[in-house]
Structure 1
């Protein structure tokens, strides 16, 4: 069962910008895991390819539906002061991961300091129950995602909330083509759901609306160029309802798995949006 969880955090000392990068937050997640199961932490650290978790950049602002592009913070130009209310999204794709970390969820001590570089921070709460004001908190089984997916909805709108790019051959591209987007979703779905989809009709999917731009994310090791914003895709042609249902299930799955590269380090955070209901 995939989970998208939000942790509420408060730093007890300032967090320097150099420790707000994806690799430091990736390391913090593995530290949390290792605190209850060192073997599991080592296994996740050594995993290659599509890892069974994602983390977000650290957020200091509440999610807002008023933002035109519905983007999140992906880098900080200034340090985060002590006692700032922060939130941090973690998603788990493997069916067993949430259960393996039960002791972590049950025994979080809000007075226990965790370390992000030289800063101490406390985990105040962990949110796992969906609420209207928490768009990044959700959990449904893979079977439920599939069963709840529409077999008639032909418009799919995806919001790229943090910079997203895809590997094509030896190079990266920030362009969210149908092949890049839906193959990325399909690869993760097939790996973790136990419900493999066959012959998704990508040739029938075309972009119908774009409101995107590129952003550069830099740290001491690399430069990352990705797309943010919103793209709507439309399914054309005489497509059987079962295939439409599978495409919709993949789009609904995006909030858990993200898209493209470096999702375990905060990039590629994506969720489906409904333009029709003015979300």
Structure 2
């Protein structure tokens, strides 16, 4: 069962920009995992395979309805102590979620966690959507599939953090239908337990887009990705079951993310 969880955080000391990178977010998550299951934390640290979680960049909490078009990717100035922040963690399988259940159930709002040199308190965790927080949700794979439309031909995505895809030995930043839906299908087949057989993406065509490239920096390296909005339509005489399967994958994007480096804040996507 995939979960999209919002961890509400309160820094007790300034968080400096050099610690607000994908690698530091990845390290913080592994610290959380290791606090309840050291062996699992070590396994996730060493594993080179596709991992059953995604992370967002750290966001400063807004009291009004947020701009849904993008998230803050980097910070030029330190985040001051006492600034309410949030951080999205999505989990793609029940095993990982159940391993972390003791952490959620026994959350100590006075236990400090570390992001670089800063101390953070986790004040609460959201797992259901709210009007000012559209990134929180939970839904079983069976529900995702059953609720997927057999008639909706519009597939509109928001790329909230940069999306990139690996092709051979190089990266590509253009979100073609093959890149997007093969990325989603790969993660669906790995974690859902629901086989999508004989699915084809040949009927999917771009209908609109407003996209740009964006650079993400980590230490001395950098990655380039695509950010913005893109829409596709399913065209032609297509079986309802095929439309349903494609819609299930599009709905799954909220949890799975798309493309590379999703465990370091890239590829954070949701359907609009």
Separation in 1, partners of 2:147, 2:43: 32
Deviation at residue 115 of structure 1 after TM alignment: 0.8
2:88 alignment counterpart: 89
Q: How is 1:65-76 mapped onto 2 (pairs within 5 angstroms)?
A: 67=67, 70-76=69-75
Deviation at residue 140 of structure 1 after TM alignment: 0.3
Separation in 1, partners of 2:63, 2:184: 24
Separation in 2, partners of 1:227, 1:266: 13
Q: TM-score, normalised by structure 1?
A: 0.94
Render the CA deviation track for 1:118-160: whole Å, top value 9, x for unaligned: 1111000011122232200000000000000001000110100
2:9–2:123 CA contact under 8 A, matched in 1? yes
Render the CA deviation track for 1:51-94: whole Å, top value 9, x for unaligned: 10011000014397663x61011111111111111000000001
2:62 alignment counterpart: 62
Q: How is 1:33-48 mapped onto 2 (pairs within 5 angstroms)?
A: 33-48=33-48
Q: How is 1:126-275 mapped onto 2 (pairs within 5 angstroms)?
A: 126-273=125-272
Render the CA deviation track for 1:88-118: whole Å, top value 9, x for unaligned: 0000001221111111001111111111111
SS in 1 for 2:220: coil
TM-aligned CA distance change 1:66 to 1:13, over 3 Å: closer
Q: Where does structure 1 differ by over 4 angstroms across 4 or more consecutive aligned residues?
A: 63-66
Separation in 1, partners of 2:4, 2:62: 16
1:63–1:134 CA contact under 8 A, matched in 2? no
2:13–2:80 CA contact under 8 A, matched in 1? yes
Aligned residue-pair number? 272
Q: TM-score, normalised by structure 2?
A: 0.97
Please tell me the root mean square deviation across aligned C-alpha atoms, in Å. 1.3
2:14 alignment counterpart: 14
2:23–2:218 CA contact under 8 A, matched in 1? no
Separation in 1, partners of 2:66, 2:90: 24
Q: How is 1:18-33 mapped onto 2 (pairs within 5 angstroms)?
A: 18-33=18-33
Render the CA deviation track for 1:12-48: whole Å, top value 9, x for unaligned: 0001111110010100001001001111111222222
Separation in 2, partners of 1:239, 1:32: 45
Deviation at residue 257 of structure 1 after TM alignment: 0.7
Deviation at residue 168 of structure 1 after TM alignment: 1.0
